[in-house]
Structure 1
Amino acid sequence: MDIDDPENTRLQEPPGHADNEIGVLVRSTNQHLQALGDNLRQVREAEGRLQFHSEQLESTVAERTRELSRSVQQLQAAQRQLIESEKLAALGGLVAGVAHEVNTPLGIAVTASSVLSEALADLRTQFQAQTLTSDSFQALLELAQDSNAMLASNIARAAKLISDFKQTAVDQVSEARCEFEVQQALEALIASLHPETRKVPVTVELDCESGLHMRSLPGVLTQVVANLIINSVRHAFADTPEARITLRIRSQGEGVELDYRDNGCGVPAALHERIFEPFFTTRRGTGGTGLGLNIVYNLVTRKLQGRLEFHSEEGAGVHFLLWLPRRLESAEPA
């Protein structure tokens, strides 16, 4: 049957039989042949649309899979950077935290990918069995589109988490002096520390002067702030119902003032003189190394050539006041 040229398929009515049963039978047969040809053409058109959407869906799944693979590789690269750099020892736990955070959107993405594959297989099965109807095709197409949207949004969410973490990790291992926007650097850091801060949970409030730039060491600055936040998370909030950390950054003359506070348990006055000593910790045997605040002090006073003050009252939180030169023109002093 030639569905592209229906006239070649039509039966010719024998002369003189227009009004008898033969003529009626020929005309009826031609009507059925025409209807069959119409149906076959619709099936062929549906096959073309199905093939197009199948290729499109397969391409989307392949691209999302590649993106997922790249994201995992980026996370693994960032993890290796953390392990290889001794100065990031205080942030080592972030890797597991970020992996846990990323697991949820990636799990949803894997589920959506499975649904997408099943919908595609169902389409093929119905088409091959010639049971594909317009309604079922539309329903399966909508399911595929919903799954694709879910896949895209969750991969984007995972990519954002990895991007924040990767930026922080890259900044931390870099000691190149450069111009940077303070608020942008600290926002990325705080986002990457979310797996740590939500354990308490603690709210981190950033109040930074708009458009404030420094020419300094962004990696060192973010490590200082990261160590302060992690120190608060691990030591300050055991009995604090609404844990809060505030960071206020303002320009001050030729420098920048960073005011860090938490509303935790504070530090007894008898320990104030030892707070920056290496290996001093109140958590010996529970994972505390006693190096966190010592690293902060050395980074601020040597790498960033700034000043650091500490104030605290037991039961009233801690207060670190940092002054840093806005333009770091010389290398670390000997």
Structure 2
Amino acid sequence: MADGTILEMNRTYGDILHISNQSGVFRKNVFDILISDNAAQNFATVLQQADLKYFETQVCCTDDVVIWVLIRWQVVKDKDGGFKYYDCSMIDVTDRKNSEVALKSAHDNLEHIVDVRTQELVAANQELLATLDSLKKTQTQLVQTEKMASLGSLVAGIAHEINTPLGVSVTAASYLQQRTDEFIRFYADDKLDAQYLEDYVQDASEAVSIITPNLMRAAQLVKSFKQVSVDQSSAERRIFNIKQYLGEIVVSLRPNLKKTNIVLTVNCPDDLNWDGFPGAFAQIVTNLIMNSLAHAYEPDSVGTITIGIERYNENNLIFSYTDDGKGMDQDVLAKIFDPFFTTRRGVGSGLGLYILYNIVTQQFGGSVDCVSELGKGSKFTMCWALNAPLSVKEK
């Protein structure tokens, strides 16, 4: 009826509402089974609509079990077109609604888990970024420390090397000063004769012949050291003659080589110039030579180190470095460019070849390869462009 009174129901309807005696609910009101005032109000509203409608709500069965149902209702009219009654059907959708609730709960729980995990990942990512930044700063500091240590070793070696020509020059100059003072006294006392004058001139000439080449040698050492040391502490680029610069590097490393029985040979065209970074280039040569002296040879070993550089084609250079030392097994060879890897703890930092690798591949934009066998020495082959890539500062 229009007021919600139940006139008739079939068995399915009774089964849904758990009604064992259907006659017991005749003439009862549908609003009695709705479990909330809001549901009853909504249902009363839709009853006023004439079109076919669907309505989902919770109802209370006769045994007080609450279920979800989908109600379809439609107005049935009499022969004159007036209202007669509502034709309603009901479907139990409790299982579907429970599944929807469970799915929504699982979805909400999953969203919560995802939110928590996302926050954890963001925090972890921020921590990793901070750690990476710290590691990069530490790496930069370690590389700079290694460069300064290499430069310090160079300073010590050059200082020792300069002492020899300077010592000889000081001795000769002291002797010349002594003879000159004596000459002045003889001249003042009018005691000079031809023989004394001849002896003085000869002694002075010998002293000058000793002082001049030794001071020139010291000056050359200072010049080479100054150029190499300034370049190694600078990232500036310039065009330079490779063979001439290799000579300056070798001079600066002579103190280290003099302590060994190692012969160093350089093969390079006289006219080969490079538009690049002399400091980084000197670092490569220095690191390779010092690495060989520290690891490839025993203190009393006799050996040969060969440096070769030439044009590979119109646009590239090939730099080869070979020593005939002890060589390396394949396990060691696979790790030589790793930071802090060394076969002799306490001898070096383990950063020399790591720095070399980064200079060649990153700063020069080139490639580096090493082949070695135990007892057969090692060979490094590097290739980079005749015109080095622009640095970050230049870009």
Structure 1-normalised TM-score?
A: 0.70
Aligned to 1:316: 376
AA aligned to 1:101 is E
The one-letter amino acid paired with 1:229 is: I
Higher normalized helix content (fraction of residues) = 1
CA distance in 1, matches of 2:333, 2:145: 29
1:131 paired to 2:200: no
Q: Alpha-carbon deviations, 1:38-63, whole Å to 9, x = none?
A: xxxxxxxxxxxxxxxxxxxxxxxxxx
CA RMSD of aligned residues (A): 2.1
* Partner deviation per Cα, 1:34-87 (whole Å, 9 max, x = no partner): xxxxxxxxxxxxxxxxxxxxxxxxxxxxxxxxxxxxxxxxxxxxxxxxxx9752
CA displacement 1:203-231 (0-9 Å, x = unmatched):
11111134122211121112111101110
The aligned residue for residue 180 of structure 1 is 240
Between the aligned partners of 2:238 and 2:218, the Cα distance in structure 1 is: 29
Give the Cα separation in 2 of the matches to 1:198 and 1:125: 45
1:153 deviates by 2.0
2:354 paired residue among 268, 276, 294: 294
Structure 1 stretches of at least 4 aligned residues deviating more than 4 Å after TM superposition: none
1:189-213 per-residue CA deviation (whole Å, 9 max, x = no partner) reads 1121111112222111111134122
- Do 1:262 and 1:318's aligned partners in 2 also have CA atoms closer than 8 Å? yes
Shift of 1:129: 2.8
Letter in 1 for 2:260: V
Aligned to 1:201: 261
Tell me the SS of whatever aligns to 1:234. Answer: helix
Corresponding position of 1:262? 323
Distance 1:332 1:319, change over 3 A: farther
Letter aligned with residue 311 of structure 2? S
Q: Which residue is 2:367 aligned to?
A: 307
Shift of 1:177: 2.0
Q: Which residue of 2 aligns with 1:18?
A: none
Structure scoring higher RCO (CA < 8 A, sep ≥ 6) equals: 1
Structure 2 unaligned spans of 5+: 1-143
Distance 1:118 1:234, change over 3 A: same
Instruction: Map Cα deviations across residues 256-308 of structure 1 (whole Å, 9 max, x no partner).
Output: 011111000011111122111111111113x3111111111111111111101
The 8 Å contact of residues 240 and 264 in structure 1, kept in 2 or not, is answered as no
Distance (Å, rounded) in 2 between the aligned partners of 1:241 and 1:284: 21
Query: Which amino acid counterpart does residue 177 of structure 1 have in structure 2?
Result: R
1:20-169 to 2 correspondence within 5 Å? 87-169=147-229
Q: Could you tell me whether the CA contact under 8 Å between 1:247 and 1:258 is conserved in 2?
A: yes
Between the aligned partners of 1:184 and 1:302, the Cα distance in structure 2 is 25
Deviation, 1:99, is 1.4
Describe the superposition over 1:221-244 as per-residue Cα deviations: whole angstroms up to 9, x where unpaired: 121111011100111011774311
**What's the offset of the Cα at 1:137?**
2.2
State the secondary structure of the residue aligned to 1:274.
coil
Unmatched tracts of structure 1, length 5 or more: 1-83
- For residues 219-234 of structure 1, the aligned pairs below 5 Å read 219-234=279-294
Identify which of 278, 281, 284 aligns with 2:345: 284
Aligned residues: 250
Aligned equivalent of 2:308, options 248, 255, 259: 248
Q: Which residue of 2 is the match for residue 328 of structure 1?
A: 388
